[in-house]
Structure 1
Amino acid sequence: QSNFLLVLKMSIFVPIKVYLRGILLHYFIQKKSAAEAHRILVQTFGDNALSDTTCRDWFRRFKNNDFELEDKERSGAPKKFQDKELEQLFDITGDRYRLQLMRLSRALKEKRPLYAQRHDKVILLHDNARPHVVKRVKTYLETLKWEVLPHPPYSPDIAPSNFHLFRSITHGLADRRFHSYEEAQKWIDSWIASTDMSFFRRGIHVLPERWEKVVSSDGQYLK
């Protein structure tokens, strides 16, 4: 009975406000408009981007030589998050991740029907990000009867995007300079489209061996 190795590296990155404001300041210095900066943020961060109105407000501050990115102190007691509130936030992102797993399960049944017919096992590798390990996600994975591999604390050595894809892209980016987000995106799209499928298969095929090495070395980096 063969196993189907499923590699799922879904990093859920939610940028903090100060980080986004720093990006706005960068584009302000580059003499871009608030509208341009907002459009780039939306393309990059989607629903987590600052609103158009907020971008314009910050550009007005910058024009008035106010470059303080932290929120100014307000009167009254500061907002303090309790553990229960944090758990609710994690539940929200956990629900989103569970929805992704549901879609993935359906896609596997549609695109790989033989696995379901032969009752082959799906082996899932994902990291220990909080949304990946909340109770409702664990419970759903149990209903799928997928085998979840242990994952050491953050280790790029078992992320194909890191040890295989990004390394090759970095070589291609040597000495290149982009003048806009669109130009960089166009280059990346072109690079992926022109790369043979065998390249991506190699990254997946070497993963089992790399995973065994990382786990046996207790998460130490590979040379």
Structure 2
Amino acid sequence: MGGASEKPESDPKPDLHQKKFMLSVFWDMEGVVYWKLLDSKATVNAIKYSEQLGKVNESLKKNRASKSKIVLIHDNARPHVAKLTRSKINSLVWKLLAHSRYSPAPFDYYLFRIMSNELAREHFDSEEAVKNWL
């Protein structure tokens, strides 16, 4: 019989959360233009975001060659408004569409709602399986 001073046996729970990834995705009216799967510990700073904008530009030239005018919309997150990012956007000769600070629904709401519904049924064993799904 256990006394009040006895500690209960520990019963560790299995790892309930699998490895997480961060998805950076850019799209236009025709669909996804560029995506990059980042480790969950990755930080998107102005340098990384500017690099991604360069990759988006490459993808646009390759896959949307008929598009001559690019208008970018993004929120006011620090990497998006940094001097380096503004400089990158200017060098790409893109227009920047202002995003309302208090927009009632983020412009990515619909994409991520659809992805969330699809991903709810999925379980991946590896990063490669995630990339294949994407």
TM-score, scaled to structure 1: 0.36
Q: How does 1:93-172 map to 2 (within 5 A)?
A: 93-115=45-67, 120-159=68-107, 161-162=108-109, 164-165=110-111
Matched, 1:43 2:20: yes
Other structure's SS at 2:72 match: strand
Q: How does 1:1-223 map to 2 (within 5 A)?
A: 31-32=13-14, 36=15, 40=18, 42-44=19-21, 46-48=39-41, 93-115=45-67, 120-159=68-107, 161-162=108-109, 164-165=110-111, 184=120, 186=122
Change (3 A) 1:47 1:186: closer
Q: What's the CA shift string for 1:133-164, capped at 9, x where partnerless?
A: 111110111111111011111525241x31x3
Other structure's SS at 2:66 match: helix
Bigger strand share: 2
Change (3 A) 1:148 1:43: same
Bigger helix share: 1
User: Looking at both structures, which has the greater relative contact order when contacts are Cα pairs under 8 Å and sequence separation is at least 6?
Assistant: 1
In structure 1, C-alpha distance between the alignment counterparts of 2:93 and 2:12, rounded to whole Å: 52
The alpha carbon displacement at 1:166 in A equals 5.1
In structure 2, C-alpha distance between the alignment counterparts of 1:31 and 1:95, rounded to whole Å: 39
Aligned-pair identity in percent equals 31
Q: What's the CA shift string for 1:153-185, capped at 9, x where partnerless?
A: 1525241x31x3455678x69xxxxxxxxx835
Q: Is the CA contact (8 Å cut-off) linking 2:20 and 2:40 kept in structure 1? A: no
Q: Is the CA contact (8 Å cut-off) linking 1:127 and 1:151 kept in structure 2? A: yes
The alpha carbon displacement at 1:47 in A equals 4.7
Unaligned 5+ segments in structure 2 are 1-10, 23-38, 124-132
Q: What's the CA shift string for 1:21-67, capped at 9, x where partnerless?
A: xxxxxxxx8811xxx35x71x33462518xxxxxxxxxxxxxxxxxx
Change (3 A) 1:166 1:102: closer
For 1:31, the aligned partner's letter is: K
Moved runs in structure 1, 4+ residues, more than 6 A? none
In structure 2, C-alpha distance between the alignment counterparts of 1:139 and 1:95, rounded to whole Å: 11
